[in-house]
Amino acid sequence: MFGLKRKAAAQAPEAKASATGRVAAMGMAGRAVWSPRDTGTLMRLGFVGNPVGFRAVKLIAEAAAAIPLICSDAEGRMEVHPVLSLLARPNGAQGRGEFLEALFGQFLLSGNAYVEAVGPGGLPAELHVLRSDRMAVVPGPDGWPVAYDYTVGGRTHRFRVGEVSPVCHLRAFHPQDDHYGLSALSAAAGAVDVHNAASRWSKGLLDNAARPSGAIVNSGEGLTQEQFDMLAAEMEAQHQGARNAGRPMLLDGGLDWKPMGFSPSDMEFQKTKEAAAREIAMAFGVPPMMLGIPGDATYANYVEANRAFYRLTVVPLVTKICDGLAHWIGTHSGTPVDLSIDRDRVPALHSERDAEWARIAGAAFLSDAEKRLMLGLPAMEDV
């Protein structure tokens, strides 16, 4: 407890003060401040510093990396192929899962993914995922990329594009950019700011539980600058921080406390935070139910949500990335190849696949060879 001590001081012949000198406002609302939208900042705020964005990206990237793939060429599906061997061990430091998770993660976070081919020529000996926040496209006079600049620590390495590009650039659709893709994280940047701000507000409430939000009103003469500074200092020392929680405030000399602002229940910060979390999940295509976000009743149960997650998010993502990667590898090897999803080995798609099998198997007008072709199975060998 404390009181405002008044000291006898020489009165100035003329004092100038604000018309609001009787009210010392301890807090006020301001304009919304949004974070920068560059790739590095978005990754730091939306993935490294946000649990919803982190989990959404990890969930998609890990699920996509675990999808079984089929490699085929003009002759049909093959169980053994150099491309499959390359993907099984893309480089000395990464296996298939880690490489693909990094590839899908970069694509989700920035809308762009870059893969470097290492080798003397032909089929690459190694594949490396490059950080998208370090890469810059160098367009030529006709607008097509002629090189890619990779900058680290002030040093730049230029990958020049010849007949065969040493870098595979995979990008998402962007309606306003010819060279870079638009990420889900960019679309959810506003929701990320709101979610992070709500988390900071909750943390600040815990750390400063004793600091009231309101104004000290002086019903008498205006405070001198010395008295104002003393009051502000004592408020900061005696009524902020968790250790001062619950400490009563003693005001002196005609000072009165007037509460201002809204209580946590009035502002419903928790609902705001949950709404922002749902927007982040929606931008990435992850059902909020799978992230443990309350208030979502889009799907009747978790199984339906998981099936929709694979059908609407994971499968299209893997298909897009594999198409671009297979075409690029084919230009290096000189032999076109195709990478596709083995839908029979994806547990989340079993019910839909079973229905497809039953429908095609019951088509009496189709031959066995046609049925196998429609189901994506290799041709039956002649016996």
- What span, in angstroms and rounded, lies between the C-alpha atoms of 90 and 87? 5
**Residue 264: what pLDDT?**
56
**Residue 157: what pLDDT?**
94
- What span, in angstroms and rounded, lies between the C-alpha atoms of 127 and 82? 13
Residue 281's alpha-carbon distances to 50, 105, 185, 314, in angstroms, are: 12, 15, 10, 14
**Residue 160: what pLDDT?**
93
> Which residues, at least 6 apart from 58, have a Cβ–Cβ distance to it below 8 Å?
105
**Residue 367: what pLDDT?**
82
**Residue 113: what pLDDT?**
96
Query: From the first residue on, what is the mean pLDDT of each consecutive set of 10 residues in the chain (383 residues)?
Result: 46 52 45 75 91 95 94 80 92 94 95 93 92 93 92 93 92 92 92 89 68 60 72 70 58 63 60 89 92 74 88 95 94 89 86 80 80 72 51
CB 57 within 8 A of CB 105: yes
**Residue 29: what pLDDT?**
46
Sheet holding 112-118, edge to edge: 126-130, 112-118, 167-171
- What span, in angstroms and rounded, lies between the C-alpha atoms of 20 and 17? 8
SS3 string, the chain, reads CCCCCCCCCCCCCCCCCCCCCCEEECCCCCCCCCCCCCHHHHHHHHHHCCHHHHHHHHHHHHHHHCCCEEEEECCEEECCCHHHHHHHCCECCECHHHHHHHHHHHHHHHCEEEEEEECCCCCCCEEEEECHHHEEEEECCCCCEEEEEEEECCEEEEEECCCCCCEEEEECCCCCCCCCCCCHHHHCHHHHHHHHHHHHHHHHHHHCCCCCCEEEEECCCCCCHHHHHHHHHHHHHHCCCHHHCCCCCCCCCCEEEEECCCCHHHHCHHHHHHHHHHHHHHHHCCCHHHHCCCCCCCCCCHHHHHHHHHHHHHHHHHHHHHHHHHHHHHHHHCCCCEEEECHHHCHHHHHHHHHHHHHHHCCCCCCHHHHHHHCCCCCCCCC
**Residue 5: what pLDDT?**
46
> Which residues, at least 6 apart from 105, have a Cβ–Cβ distance to it below 8 Å?
57, 58, 61
CB 135 within 8 A of CB 128: no
Task: Show me where the domains of the chain are located.
Answer: 34-189+273-341, 191-270, 347-383
CB 71 within 8 A of CB 84: yes
Question: 344-373: buried (b, 16+ CB within 10 Å) or exposed (e) per residue?
Answer: bebebbeeebeebeeeeeeeeeeeeeeebe
CB 137 within 8 A of CB 128: no
Helix axes 269-284, 189-207, angle to 10 degrees: 150
